[in-house]
Copies of this chain bind each other. A is one copy, B any other.
Amino acid sequence: MKMPAPLPADLSTPYVAVDLDVLDRNLRAMAASAAARGIALRPHAKTHKCLQIARRQIDLGAVGLTVATVSEAEVFAKAGFTDLFIAYPVWASPARTARLRALAEQVSLRVGVDSAEGAQALAAAVKGTGVEVLVEIDSGHHRSGVQPGSAGEVASAAALAGLQVSGVFTFPGHGYGPGRRDKAAADEADALDQAASALRAVGVDATVRSGGSTPTASVADPGSLTEMRPGVYVFGDAQQVELGSCDWPDVALTIAATVVSGSGSRVILDAGSKVLGADQPAWATGGGRLPDHPDAHIIALSEHHATAVFPQDAPVPGRGDIVRVAPSHVCSAVNLADELVVVSKGREIDRWAVAARGANT
C-alpha cells in the first residue's frame, strides 16, 4: 500500500488534513467486512462529527449512525439523517426533555439505559414517542453499563415505565491495549449472549445485540452481534497502528505541522495538545506519531509544541519543513478542529466542517 502524498505547503500550520482516497478505502473495507459477516454496521459518528463522512457511510450500507450525546444527535438529525442511536446512558433531565421529544419526532431514535432510575426518567420524558431503548452491558471495560446478568432487571423497569426495549449493547473498550483484542471480542460476545438470555427470562426479545469497536470489529462474532459500532476505522490513528488495527498507509487523517525549533535529533513542531489532543494511554509510545518517519517518537506535548525525537544518525527535518503527524487518538483531535482540509494526491480539494464539534450535551 502506497503512503499518501505530502500535504499542501501553502496553508498556515497546524491544520487537520484528511486524505480522501485513504478515507474512502477505509470506509469501503469496513462496509464490506460487516456485510460479509451479516453484521449491521452503525458507525460511531463521534469520531468524525462530519456530515459528508456520515453520508458516505450510509451510502455504503450503514443502517444508521451511532452518536454519544443528544447534541450530536441533534446535529445529524437536522442534516437529514433518520436513524440514530445515542449509545450512552442518557440522563433525561428536565433540561433535556424537550430536546429528546423533538428528536424522537424527527428521527428513528434509540437511547441507552443502564439503570431503573435512568429508564424511569427517560420514560417520563419520551413515553409515547416511539423511542426504543437498549440496555447497556459492561463486558469488561468497567465504565457504564450493568453486569450482563442484571440486564433483565433494567429491561423490566424500562418496559414497566412504558419504554420499548429492543435489545442490549456494550462497548468492549478493554480491547484498547496490545494483545487484548481477541479476549475483549470474546468477552463482548459472551456478555451480549448472557444479557440477551437475561432479557428473554423477563419476556423481552433482544432483537438488537450491538457491540463493536475498531480494534475488535474485524473479529466481531456474527453469532452474538447483530450490529457493530466502530468509529475510529474511518481515519485510523497512532493508537490503532500501535494496536495493529491498521498500518501507516491506512491513516487517513494527519495534522500538518512545521518544524519551528530543536537541535540534533530533537525537533519541535508547532502542533501541540490543542490540535493533536492529549489522550494517551499508558501503553502508547508517545503523544502521536509521524507516519513518514515511523522511527521518530513524540516524547512530550504542550499546548503548542510537540517534541519529536529521531533515531541517532537518522535524517531529521529542518526548521520550516512541514511534516505529517498522526494524533494518538483521532476522536480527540477532530473535536478540536472547526474544519477538515480534504486532500487528494497532495492537493486540497475541499473543506468539510466538523459539524458536531463540541456537541457534548
Measured CB to CB, the residues of A under 8 A from B are 9-15, 46, 68-71, 88-91, 93-96, 99, 114-115, 117-118, 121, 143-145, 173, 258-262, 268, 270-271, 273-275, 277-280, 300, 302-305, 307, 319-320, 331-332, 335-338, 358, 360-361
Contact = CB atoms under 8 A, between A and B. Distances in A.
Contact of A117 (B279, B319, B335, B361): B319
Contacts of A12: 70-71, 93, 95-96, 99, 361
A260 to B, nearest CB: 5
Contacts of A46: 303-304
B319 A118 contact: yes
A305 B361 contact: no
Nearest to A261: B144
A197 to B, nearest CB: 22
Given A69-B304, A258-B91, A261-B115, A332 B273 contact: yes
A269 B320 CA distance: 43
A360 B274 contact: yes
A86 to B, nearest CB: 10
28 contacts: A10-B94, A11-B95, A12-B99, A13-B93, A14-B361, A15-B361, A88-B260, A89-B260, A91-B259, A91-B270, A91-B319, A93-B258, A117-B320, A118-B319, A121-B320, A143-B268, A143-B307, A144-B305, A173-B302, A273-B277, A273-B332, A274-B332, A274-B335, A274-B358, A277-B278, A278-B280, A303-B331, A336-B358
Nearest to A92: B320
Q: Is the interface of A mostly helix, strand, loop or mixed?
A: loop
A37 to B, nearest CB: 27
Contact of A278 (B117, B261, B305, B332): B332
A13 B117 contact: no
B358 A144 contact: no
A260 B118 contact: yes
A275 B71 CA distance: 13
A268 B144 contact: yes
A238 to B, nearest CB: 14
A319 B15 contact: no
B260 A91 contact: yes
B89 A261 contact: yes
Nearest to A16: B360
B305 A143 contact: yes
Contact of A275 (B11, B94, B258, B360): B360
Contacts of A331: 274, 303
Given A89-B261, A143-B261, 17 more contacts: A9-B93, A12-B71, A13-B95, A14-B360, A68-B303, A89-B268, A115-B261, A121-B320, A143-B268, A143-B300, A143-B307, A144-B260, A144-B261, A273-B277, A273-B279, A278-B278, A304-B360
Contacts of A259: 91
Contacts of A332: 273-274, 278, 303
Nearest to A304: B68
**A-B complex: 6 closest residue pairs judged by Cβ atoms:** A12-B361, A144-B261, A278-B278, A278-B279, A12-B95, A91-B260
A335 B268 CA distance: 22
A216 to B, nearest CB: 16
A336 B354 CA distance: 13
